[in-house]
Structure formats: C-alpha cells, structure tokens
C-alpha cells in the first residue's frame, strides 16, 4: 500500500526532472552557439536561469535533473584537444559548480526574494543577487579547468568574464520567462506573459540577430588576409605543377630520336640542372620499354653502360627489390638522378598496378601523366606522385622511353606554402580523380567548413582538391570584441528592462487589489437597491452609455436565463443583436427618442436560443455619466399565436407537413443554394400503393391515420434539413438538402420503400400498404422546381408500372451498377418472403476414421430470373442493408429443424455448424431466438455449432466474450472461423470461451509447397490442443493435405476431397445412404 501511494509522487518527480533537463540542454545548446573559442564561455547562458527558476518553483527535488543535464552538456563541449581524464574532470567540475550555484541560489531567493517579485525591494534584490550568484560557477569551474591545463592561464581572465556575464544575463532573462510558465502565484505570473515575457523574448532575439550580423561582418574583415594568402598559395601551387608538366614535355621533345643512343652522362646533364633549381623534386628518371626477347641483351647493355650489377628488378613481398620474373614487356628505370636514387636502377614500373597504370596512361595519351598517390621506391620518403612523359622518335612510331619526375607531396606542398609567407595554414590535399578521394596530406583532421578555402588543381591529367583553413590560434587572434560587446550590452539592457517591467506589473497588481476592495463596498450599497428592483414583474436593466449592464433585476435574469450574479457587466450585444456598424448607445438613444418609446427585437438567452421581446428605454442624465433604464417584456406567446396562423397557411393540417405553397418556396430556395454551390439534389415523388382500396374498405378515418403514419415514418427517415411535403391525397414529395449523389439518392429511396411497406397498426387493424417512388436529380433532370416535380412524377408512374413497391430514376443514364445493386437489395427482401433461399451442406470428416461427423450449413439463393446468385454477390449487400439479420434467423430456424428431423431419421449423431454474421453477434435478438428454437425443437444443443469470424469477434471483444459465454452456458458449441486471417493470438484464444478453431483454407492450400504455411498450420494445431480445443481444417482438396493434417493430429476437416456442398437430400444420402428412401 505504501508503494502504491508513493508511486504518483515518484512519477511526477521523474517527469519534472526530465522536463527540466531537456529544457536545460536545449537552451544550453542555443547559448553555446554564441560561445567564444574554444566553445565553453558564452555571453548568454540561459540554463543558469532555467536552473534558478526551476528550483525556486519546484524545490530541491529537481537538482538531479539539473546536475545530469549540466554534466551531459559539458561532456559535449570539446574541453581540451583530446578526450581523456582531464576532459572528464573538467566536465565534472563545471557541472558540479553549476549545480552548487543553483542550490545556493535556491536558498538565497527563498530567504530574500518574495516569489511574486512584485515590490521594488524584491526586484532590486533580484538584480543584485544574480550577478553575485554567477560568481560561484564561473570561479569554481575555471579554477579547476585552469589547474587541469585545459586552457592556458593567459586566457582564464577573459573566459571568466564571459562565463560570469553569460550566467548573470542568463538568470536575469531566463528565470522570469520560466516563472511566467511555472511560477507562483500563477495568476500574477501568467498575466506577465505579454508585459514581461514578450518584450524579453523579442529584445533578446533582436540583439542576438544584431550580434550574429556584426560578428559575420567582423569575421569577413578579419579573415581577408587568410583568403588572399590562400588564393595566392593555390595559384602558386598550380603554377609550379604546370611548370613541371611543361618541362617534361619540352625535355621529351628535345630528346626525341636521340633517346636510343642516350648515355647516363647525357641524361645527367639534362636532368641535374633542372633538379638543382627545383629542390622540391625528389628525382628524375629515364625509363626504357623492353620486351622479354630483348631482356638479356638489355641487361648486358646495362651492366656495361649503367652499373656492373644491373638487371631488371621488381619489389618482392618484403618490399625489397629482387630479380623480375618473366613478363611480355617491361618498363625499366635505366638512368636516375640524383645519385642517391641510383640504387633503384633496373626497377620495372609494370610490376606494380599503380605505376603500371601511370605508365600506360602516359603511353596512351602522349601528354604528361601523373600517377595516383603511391609509395615511392625509397620507403623512408613515404607517399608521393610520379609524373611521366612518353618520348617518341617520330610521329606514328612506338615510344622509345619515358621521362619520370617524382615528388613527395607533403614536403612539396609545405615548400610551396612557405613561399606565400603565411605560417597559419591547416592543409589538406586530396586526389579527387576517382569516385573515392585519396588524401595526400591532411593537417586539418575535420570536414571542410563554409569559411575554409578550397581550390581544384590539375596535374598530369589528374584532379586534386586543396583545402586551406586558418589555425585556431590565428582565428582567436583575429577575433574582434565589437560584436561581443554589442551583444553583452544589449542583453544587460534587456535584463534591466525586464526588471523594470516586473516592477510595473507588480505595482499594477497591487493597484488592482485596491480597486477590488473599493468595488466590493460599492456593490454592497447597490445590492440594497437591487432587492427593490427584483420585485418588479418585467425585466428592468440599467445600462451605461457603452451598452454595459450596470444592474438587472431578478425578472431580467429569468427572462434571459442568466443567474443574477452574471448579469452585471454583460454587454448589451450579448442580450440583443445589434445592427452592423451600430453601437449599443446608438440603439438605446434611438429607442428612447422614438415616438412610442418601445421597440421590438429578438433577445438571446444564455443557452443560445432567441425569443421576441418589446423594449422601452429612458435616458437618465447624471453629473458624471449618462445611464439608460430599459424595461423589457417577453412577446413569445404573442408570436406563437401568429405562428399558428402562418402554419395553417403553409402546412398540411392533417400531417403537419409542408403544403404545396411551402414546398414551392423551399424548393426554389434550395435549388438556388445548390446551384451556387455547384452541387446536386434529389426530388422524390411518392405515391402510396393500395391507398384507395384501404380508404374505401376501412373508411376515411383509417385512411387519414395511414397518411399520418406515413408522414411520421418519413420524418424518422429523413433529416430535419430535408423537405417533406404532402401535395394532397396520397402523394408526398421528399427533397434532399445538400449535395446528394445518385447512389445516395437511390439508397434513400430504398429505405423509404422498405419503411413504407411495413405493416401499419391503425385502430386495431393491420394494414399493408407501400410506396412507388420516382426520382429526379438536379441539375441533370431539370433546372427548376416545376420541371423536377414533373420528371419525378413521370418516374413514379414508371415505378408503378413495374409492379409497385419500388423506385425508378427519371434519367436512364444514371449509374446502372448502383441501380442494379439497389434492385438486388430489394429482390433479397422479396426472395426471403418468397422462400427463394436454400441450405446446402458440406460434410465435415473425422480425419482419424474418415467418417462424416457433421456438416456446415451454406446459404444459396435461387432467383427465378437471375438464376443461382453467388453468396459473395448478395451477402455483402445483406450485411449493409440489415437483411442479414432476417437471413441469419431463417438459417438458424432451418438448421434447428434439420437437427430435429435427423434425430428421428437415424442421423442424430451429426452436428450442424452455422455461420453467424457480425450484426447477429452484436445484435440483441440472437439469444432469445436460440432459446425459443431450442425449447420448441427439443434438440441436443451440443449438436448445434455456431461459427464466428475473428474480425466479427474483435469488433467488440467484451460483448463477444459475453455472447460466447452465454452460448456455452446453453450447451451450444462455438468455433472461431477463418483462424489466422484476422486477429489471431494466444491472448484472444484465452479470452474467448470456444470449443474449436477452424484453420482458414488460405493456409491449407499451400502446406505442400510453402514451408511457412506448413509451420503455421502445425503450430496452430499444437497451440489449440494445448488449450484443450479441437481443430478443423477447411479447403482440403488433396490426399497429401489430408495426410499432413492427420499426421499433425488435426481432428477434423472439410473440403472438395471429401464432398462438395450438397442440397439437404443429397447430403443426407451421402451421410447415410439407407436414409434416401426414408427422407421426406
């Protein structure tokens, strides 16, 4: 019991902590967008005010949420260059200091500041306490951060000032805003939402926007040097790369046909001068193409002309050069400059994919071609790029060699940047020739930002992306303080304005309290005068010149339906409608200055109803104001007498329906509205069937009663906004209001025909009549009321010629499918009356013995014109129209009759399953019908099994559960039909009291080919047996399906494998052949 009592408190505390933490994090994130580098000192830290307001209003129970949110937010700030213990300790120190500051603020405010902060003393203390409290967090946090070495000591003072200002301004701004939402007293704080809250929000947003604009301008000015130097660096680097391309291309043209006879000395003379002038280049090489057939001669030449141990080599698994294996061709490093690289003589550039790709590109293009980033032959140098240029002796001849220049990217790039004389670059160079960029150098270690410089470079047919960003130290050094001072000053001024508005709103609240006291004394004096006026019979109102009620007597309260205490202060327009553009004073002066001093108007009661009244007004001039005294009299009874006269002129005296005059007026008005709206309407002409015969046989009194009964049934069927009229005799008109489609009009006509065809009980007589209905649609069948009435009359006579008791559309082009469906619904009713329905039975088999143990009753319809109508065609219509209830009752009666007959015909052991519709399950007539049938027939209830689908049961689970319990209590068996297609679950099987489940044919048909269906069927059988239920499978069509179900211990089955649905005599012969001769 203790736990149950404390749970709501614990839950509310947890929810409050979560809400405060979420608000703390959100406002903290917003404030940190304004933070100084490196990101933890901001001039506006709203969480400090959130913590203060939350603790003052909610108490210390909210400290856990504040502490957790503060720790999480500080962990998200990049305190320090790398995550580690120092970062964790710094975050913990900042969170602890913020929590301690909030705790101290709680006790300080509860001691020295009143919760409403309404007096000047409280506002002044609020202004002085917040900056003093802000010292706590800024001092403790930055002291610990400085000791941990997270920021340099030289930056502590500036960050302390920013931290202190951020907390102070945050408390001055955020605390009042949050108190407006949660502060106490609620009435005072909530009234401050416009006077205090809105100005604070608007001014804060304005100053933040100004700060961002100024900061953006400052940043643009301060980073101008960086952008100029970046552009210079990018252009210089592109120029150097282009120079190398031009050089190798020019050198290749110079070598041209002399390459075959070029010696090491010749190559050295060519390359050394260029390399000495370009220290950023690592080496230059001459590569010779050699075939396998030329290899021996070439290696012999190399040992004589290059070095004694010369031979063609390639890198092995250990990255050391070793003898190259046999290959169709080679591209061999023959001459290399400078000397330090000559260890790599004989290296085959086709032995590695990246070098081979560069070689092939150079050979294929004839232009300088750069390789993708690769490991250079000198491993200690690392990654680099090689530039190759093929040398051709003459046009059309194969290349005799390739010139190669190699460079190390990082040293090459740093040397180029040194020439710009700007040591504050963070650099990233990427090869972007392929879909996936390859980083050659990356000092940036982060994604590119909008302020970074980027330039695309081209070298040897490849593309590179150069990204330059300023260092953090450079960015911090360039920061200006003008924008920060603008923001800080603006926020402090906003906070001071907020304090002033708190004072103004508090003083106004005190003044309002004094006014209320004076008003109470005045009301006491006025109450004595009011007691005198309350004795008057007519309503008496005293109104100010602006139409506000100063006083009203008790009769006025009764007249308008207001309690006496609510009348005072009401506006006159709440009681009387005022013309547009006219004031209450204008109306009152007009009535007072009239010749008769009396005016008739409509009054409005408190419940919204209106009534007629007469009002007379007198104007009373007082020294300081003008009052009006009005006397009002109710004219309701007088108007009722007038309405009775009007009704006699516009309504049929017998039925109370509209007469021809009223019909014409309302029809013209309705058609005009429908025409403007672009909609459609239906006009129905009704003529009663057999009325003359009834009138002649039973007398005019019975005929009149029939007409009244017909009018009442039409009123029950139609809406109040629809028009129902009697033209005379037995002719009625129905006009629908609002847009009506032909389908909807046909549905209405069916309901009318059905309702009017039901028997009438008139003075102890049972009278049968009906109606023929003709429909005309606006605007397709006529554009005016007279035409529509004539066309509806024509359609009505067409309905009469087709056998009465039906309806016809005037236009044959209306939706024939809709008409056929409605006719089919009508034929269903006739079919039930004329016994056109028949029961078919499908045998249910015990799988273990293959004996017939029962059957399922299936409904069939033999229509004399349509032939055999499929159930899926008429059952949905019966469901929608409500005929399914009558059909269901008929099926139950037939089924019980069969069971009763079988008991005496040797088939008493068979049970009979009947499907229940959703309407039968949830209607109120099923159980009484079953009780009557069981009592009259005397059959064993266990032989009757009622099947209900899962979807029908789950429409109202509780009601279905009670129904199934009642059925089981009567001994009737219950089965869930189509199991697995709807809401199947163990909880539903446990919820409902049933005897068996029926596996849907959709699972049975694929158990031979679909492992999933086989598993589902097996699991369903096992689950049902574990709950003590029997299982029957439907749709069994093959022996394999039967064997599978029998092996899985399924109890029963039905399907075409055993028997198709059969008429009753055929089934009885199938189930008991000896019965054929005895069957009736």
For residue range 1024-1036, list pLDDT tens digits in order: 898 889 999 999 9
In this structure, of 405-409, 591-595, 896-900, 974-978, the range with the lowest mean pLDDT score is 591-595
Alpha-helix residue ranges (DSSP H) falling in 373-481: 409-418, 472-478
Tokens describing residue 233: 């660096």
What is the predicted pLDDT for the residue at 596? Answer: 56
Q: Quick one: DSSP state of residue 105? A: H
| pLDDT tens-digit map of 350-362 | 888 888 888 888 8
CA 604, 607, 610, 614 dihedral sign is: negative
pLDDT at residue number 481: 58
In angstroms, the CA 788 to CA 795 distance is 10
Q: How far apart are CA 943 and CA 180, in angstroms?
A: 73
Reported as a single tens digit per residue, the pLDDT across 522-579 is 777 766 666 666 677 788 888 888 888 888 888 888 888 888 778 888 888 888 887 7
Q: How far is the C-alpha of 196 from the C-alpha of 192, rounded, in Å?
A: 5
Backbone angles phi, psi at 735, to 5 degrees: -120, 125
Q: How far is 736 from 673, CA to CA, in rounded Å?
A: 12
Which pLDDT value is given to residue 176?
Answer: 86
Is the pLDDT at 517 greater than 90? The verdict is: no
DSSP state of 878: H
Q: What is the mean pLDDT of residues 908-922?
A: 89
Q: Are 208 and 489 spatial neighbours (Cβ–Cβ below 8 Å)?
A: no
Q: How far apart are CA 797 and CA 356, in angstroms?
A: 97
Q: How far apart are CA 650 and CA 594, in angstroms?
A: 35
Match 């003044």 to its residue by tokens.
Answer: 511
Judge whether residue 40 has pLDDT over 80: no
d(CA 470, CA 444): 9
Distances (CA, A) of 894 to 491, 1026, 1080: 88, 35, 15
Tokens 């044919």 appear where?
A: 1001
Q: How many CB atoms lie within 10 A of CB 316?
A: 11
Q: What is the pLDDT of residue 220?
A: 64
As a whole number of Å, the CA-based R_g of the chain is 50
How far, in Å, CA of 489 to CA of 496, rounded? Answer: 11
Residue 947, pLDDT above cutoff 60: yes
Contact 313/327 with Cβ under 8 angstroms? no
Q: Which residue has the higher pLDDT, 993 or 210?
A: 993
- Token pair, residue 200, equals 């604070």
pLDDT of residue 1: 39
Whether the Cβ atoms of residue 773 and residue 752 lie closer than 8 Å to each other: yes
Q: Which of 936, 772, 187, 74 is nearest to 509 (CA)?
A: 187
Query: d(Cα 420, Cα 912) in Å, to the nearest integer?
Result: 100
> What pLDDT is attached to residue 513?
64
Architecture category of domain 837-1075 in CATH: Alpha-Beta Barrel (3.20)
Count Cβ neighbours within 10 Å for each residue of 201-228 and write b for 16 or more, e otherwise: eebbeebbeebeebbeebbeebbeebee
Backbone angles phi, psi at 685, to 5 degrees: -105, 120
| Cα–Cα distance, 418 to 711 (Å, whole number) | 104
Q: What is the mean pLDDT of the chain?
A: 82
288-302 pLDDT, tens digit per residue, is 999 998 988 888 998
Cβ atoms of residues 748 and 682 within 8 Å: yes
Distance between CA 996 and CA 259 in Å, rounded? 98
Q: Determine how many CB atoms are found less than 10 A away from the CB of residue 33.
A: 11
What is the torsion angle, in degrees rounded to the nearest 10, for the CA atoms of residue 522, residue 525, residue 530 and residue 535? 170
Q: What CATH number was assigned to the domain covering residues 534-640? A: 3.30.450.20
Q: Given this model, what pLDDT does residue 818 score?
A: 44
Is residue 244 predicted with pLDDT exceeding 80?
yes
CA 348 to chain centre: 64
Q: Quote the CA–CA distance of 695 and 89 in Å, as a whole number.
A: 103
Residue 340 CA to residue 282 CA, distance in Å, equals 10
The highest-confidence range among 29-33, 91-95, 895-899, by mean pLDDT, is 895-899
- Cβ atoms of 263 and 255 within 8 Å: the answer is no
What's the rounded Cα separation, in Å, for the pair 170 and 494? Answer: 11
Judge whether 573 and 585 are in contact, CB under 8 Å: no
Distance of alpha carbon 833 from alpha carbon 886, whole angstroms: 10
d(CA 1071, CA 1073): 6
Q: Which of the residue ranges 169-183, 375-389, 723-737, 1052-1066 would you say has the lowest mean pLDDT?
A: 375-389
Opening angle at CA 147, ends 142 and 149, nearest 5: 95
pLDDT at 752: 92
837, 861 in Cβ contact below 8 A? yes
Instruction: Decide: 1042 and 1057 in contact? Cβ < 8 Å.
Output: yes
Does residue 409 have a pLDDT over 80?
no
Q: Are 445 and 226 in contact (CB under 8 A)?
A: no
Write down the pLDDT at residue 1070.
92
The Cα 227–Cα 420 span in angstroms is 12
Q: pLDDT tens digits, residue range 667-722? A: 888 988 888 888 889 999 999 988 887 887 788 898 899 999 999 999 999 888 88
Residue with tokens 């405010």: 109
Cα(270)–Cα(248) distance, rounded to whole angstroms? 11
The position carrying tokens 């605390």 is 175
- Distance CA(845)–CA(938), nearest Å, equals 26
Instruction: Note the CATH number of domain 655-814.
Output: 3.30.70.270
Higher pLDDT, 321 or 684: 684
Domain extents for the chain?
2-196, 255-419, 534-640, 655-814, 837-1075
CB 389 within 8 A of CB 368: yes
Q: Using 50, 70 and 90 to split pLDDT, how confident is the model at 928? A: very high
Query: pLDDT grade, residue 477 (50/70/90)?
Result: low
- The candidate with the shortest Cα–Cα distance to 476, out of 89, 29, 152, is 152
Contact 1077, 1060 (CB under 8 A): no
Q: 421 or 474, which is more confident?
A: 421
**Going by C-beta distance under 8 Å and a sequence separation of 6 or more, which residues neighbour residue 93?**
140, 141, 144, 145, 148
Cα separation, 122 vs 510, in Å, equals 14
Q: Is the pLDDT of residue 341 over 60?
A: yes
Query: Are 907 and 1075 a contacting pair, CB within 8 Å?
Result: yes
- Centre a 10 Å sphere on the Cβ of residue 501 and count the other Cβ atoms it contains: 19
Measured CA to CA, the distance from residue 42 to residue 39 in angstroms comes to 8
Query: Does 255-419 match 534-640 in CATH topology?
Result: yes
pLDDT value of residue 82: 46
pLDDT in tens, 853-886: 999 999 999 988 888 888 888 887 788 777 888 8
Task: Give me the pLDDT at residue 416, please.
Answer: 77
Long-range contacts of 350-356 (CB under 8 A, 24+ apart): 351/314, 351/315, 351/324, 351/327, 352/314, 352/315, 355/386
726: tokens are 């009697």
Helix pair angle (926-937, 957-969), 10° resolution: 10
**Among candidate residues 141, 138, 172, the one with its CA nearest the CA of residue 50:** 172
Percent of the chain residues topping a pLDDT of 90:
18
DSSP string, 842-860: EEEEETTTTEEEEEEEEEE
Summarize pLDDT for 96-139 with one digit per residue, the tens: 888 898 899 888 888 898 888 877 788 888 888 888 988 888 88
Q: First CA to last CA across the chain, in angstroms?
A: 71
Cα 618 to Cα 532: distance, rounded to the nearest angstrom: 19
- % residues pLDDT > 70 (the chain): 89
One CATH from 3.40.50.12780, 3.30.450.350, 3.30.1300.10, 3.40.605.10 for 255-419? 3.30.450.350
Instruction: Write down the number of H helices and E strands in the chain.
Output: 36, 34
Q: Are strands 610-621 and 462-470 parallel, antiparallel or unpaired?
A: unpaired
Q: What is the widest separation between alpha-carbon atoms in the chain?
A: 144
pLDDT of residue 406: 86
| Contact call for residues 217 and 224 (beta carbons, < 8 A) | no
Q: Which residues contact 1013 (CB under 8 A, 6 or more apart)?
A: 1003, 1004, 1006, 1007
More confident residue, 514 or 53: 53
Q: Which helix (H) or strand (E) holds 978?
A: strand 973-979
């Amino acid at each position: 019991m203790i736990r149950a009592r404390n749970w709501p408190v614990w839950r509310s505390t947890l929810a409050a902590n979560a809400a405060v933490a979420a608000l703390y994090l959100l406002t903290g994130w917003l404030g940190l967008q304004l933070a100084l580098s490196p990101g933890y000192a901001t001039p506006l830290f709203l969480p400090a005010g959130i913590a203060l307001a939350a603790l003052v209003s909610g108490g210390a129970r909210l400290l856990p949420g504040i502490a957790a949110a503060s720790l999480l937010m500080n962990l998200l700030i990049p305190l320090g260059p790398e995550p580690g213990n120092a970062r964790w300790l710094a975050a913990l120190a900042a969170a602890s200091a913020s929590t301690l500051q909030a705790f101290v603020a709680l006790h300080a405010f509860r001691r020295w500041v009143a919760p409403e902060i309404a007096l000047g003393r409280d506002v002044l203390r609020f202004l002085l306490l917040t900056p003093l409290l802000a010292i706590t967090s800024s001092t403790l946090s930055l002291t610990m951060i400085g000791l941990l070495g997270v920021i340099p000591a030289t930056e502590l003072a500036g960050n302390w000032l920013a931290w202190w200002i951020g907390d102070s301004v945050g408390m001055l701004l955020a605390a009042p805003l949050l108190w407006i939402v949660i502060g106490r007293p609620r009435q005072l704080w909530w009234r401050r939402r416009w006077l205090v809250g809105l100005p604070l929000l608007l001014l804060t947003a304005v100053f933040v926007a100004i700060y961002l604009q100024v900061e953006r301008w400052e940043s643009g000015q301060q980073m101008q040097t960086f952008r100029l130097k970046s552009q210079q660096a990018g252009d210089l680097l592109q120029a150097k790369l282009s120079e190398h391309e031009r050089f190798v291309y020019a050198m290749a043209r110079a070598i041209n046909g002399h390459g075959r006879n070029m010696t090491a000395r010749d190559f050295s003379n060519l390359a050394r001068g260029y390399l000495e002038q370009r220290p950023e280049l690592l080496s230059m090489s001459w590569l010779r193409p050699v075939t396998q057939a030329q290899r021996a001669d070439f290696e012999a030449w190399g040992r004589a002309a290059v070095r004694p141990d010369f031979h063609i080599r390639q890198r092995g698994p250990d990255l050391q050069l070793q003898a190259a294996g046999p290959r169709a061709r080679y591209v061999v490093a023959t001459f290399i400059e400078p000397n330090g690289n000559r260890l790599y003589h004989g290296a085959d550039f086709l032995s590695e994919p990246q070098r081979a790709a560069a070689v092939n590109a150079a050979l294929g293009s004839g232009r300088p071609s750069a390789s993708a980033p690769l490991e250079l032959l000198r491993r200690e140098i690392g990654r680099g790029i090689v530039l190759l240029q093929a040398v051709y002796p003459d046009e059309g001849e194969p290349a005799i060699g390739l010139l190669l220049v190699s460079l190390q990217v990082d040293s090459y790039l740093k040397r180029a940047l040194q020439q710009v004389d700007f040591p504050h670059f963070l650099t990233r160079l990427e090869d972007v020739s392929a879909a996936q960029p390859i980083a050659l150098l990356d000092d940036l270690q982060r994604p590119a930002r909008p302020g970074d410089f980027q330039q695309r470079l081209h070298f040897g047919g490849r593309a590179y992306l150069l990204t330059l960003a300023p260092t953090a130290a450079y960015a911090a050094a360039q920061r200006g303080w003008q924008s920060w001072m603008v923001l800080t000053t603006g926020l402090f001024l906003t906070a001071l304005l907020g304090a002033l508005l708190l004072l103004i709103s508090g003083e106004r609240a005190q003044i309002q309290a004094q006014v209320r006291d004076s008003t109470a004394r005045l009301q006491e004096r006025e109450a004595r005068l009011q007691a005198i006026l309350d004795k008057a019979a007519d309503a008496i109102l005293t109104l100010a010149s602006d139409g506000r009620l100063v006083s009203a007597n008790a009769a006025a309260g009764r007249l308008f339906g207001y309690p006496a205490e609510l009348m005072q202060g009401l506006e006159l327009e709440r009681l009387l409608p005022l013309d547009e553009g006219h004031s209450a004073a204008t109306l009152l002066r007009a009535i007072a200055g009239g010749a008769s001093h009396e005016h008739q108007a409509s009054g409005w009661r408190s419940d919204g109803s209106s009534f007629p009244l007469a009002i007379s007004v007198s104007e009373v001039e007082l020294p300081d104001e003008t009052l009006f005294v009005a006397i009002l009299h109710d004219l309701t009874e007088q108007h009722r007498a007038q309405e009775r006269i009007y009704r006699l002129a516009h309504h049929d005296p017998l039925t109370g329906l509209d007469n021809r005059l009223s019909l014409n007026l309302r029809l013209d008005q309705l058609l005009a509205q429908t025409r403007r709206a672009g909609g459609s309407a239906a006009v129905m002409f009704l003529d009663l069937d057999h009325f003359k015969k009834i009138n002649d046989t039973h007398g005019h009194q019975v005929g009149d009663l029939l007409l009244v009964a017909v009018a009442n049934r039409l009123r029950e069927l139609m809406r109040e906004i629809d028009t129902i009229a009697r033209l005379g005799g037995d002719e009625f008109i129905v006009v629908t209001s609002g847009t009506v489609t032909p389908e909807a009009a046909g549905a209405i006509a069916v309901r009318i025909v059905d309702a009017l065809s039901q028997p009438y009980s008139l003075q102890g007589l049972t009278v049968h009549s009906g109606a023929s209905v003709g429909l005309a649609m606006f605007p397709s069948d006529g554009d005016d009321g007279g035409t529509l009435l004539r066309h509806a009359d024509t359609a009505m006579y067409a309905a009469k010629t087709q056998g009465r008791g039906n309806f016809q559309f005037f236009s044959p082009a209306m939706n024939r499918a809709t008409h056929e469906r409605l006719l089919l619904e009508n034929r269903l009713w006739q079919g039930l009356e004329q016994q056109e329905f028949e029961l078919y039975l499908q045998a249910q088999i015990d799988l273990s013995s293959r004996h017939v143990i029962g059957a399922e009753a299936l409904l069939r319809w033999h229509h004399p014109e349509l032939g055999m109508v499929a159930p899926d065609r008429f059952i949905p219509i019966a469901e929608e129209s409500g005929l399914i209830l009558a059909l269901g009752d008929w099926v139950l009666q037939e089924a019980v009759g069969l069971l009763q007959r079988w008991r005496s015909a040797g088939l008493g052991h068979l049970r009979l399953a009947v499907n229940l519709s959703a309407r039968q399950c949830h209607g109120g007539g099923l159980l009484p019908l079953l009780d009557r049938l069981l009592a009259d027939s005397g059959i064993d209830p266990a032989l009757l099994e009622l099947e209900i689908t899962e979807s029908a049961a789950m429409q109202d689970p509780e009601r279905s559960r009670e129904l199934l319990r009642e059925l089981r209590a009567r001994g009737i068996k219950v089965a869930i039909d189509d199991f697995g297609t709807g809401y199947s679950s163990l909880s539903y099987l446990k919820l409902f009291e049933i005897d068996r489940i029926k596996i849907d044919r959709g699972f049975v048909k694929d158990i031979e080919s679909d492992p999933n269906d086989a598993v589902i069927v097996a699991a369903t059988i096992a689950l049902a047996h574990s709950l003590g239920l029997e299982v029957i499978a439907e749709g069994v069509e093959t022996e394999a399906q039967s064997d599978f179900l029998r092996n899985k211990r399924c109890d029963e089955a039905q399907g075409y494998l055993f028997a198709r649905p059969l008429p009753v005599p055929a089934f009885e012969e199938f189930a008991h052949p000896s019965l054929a001769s005895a069957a009736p």
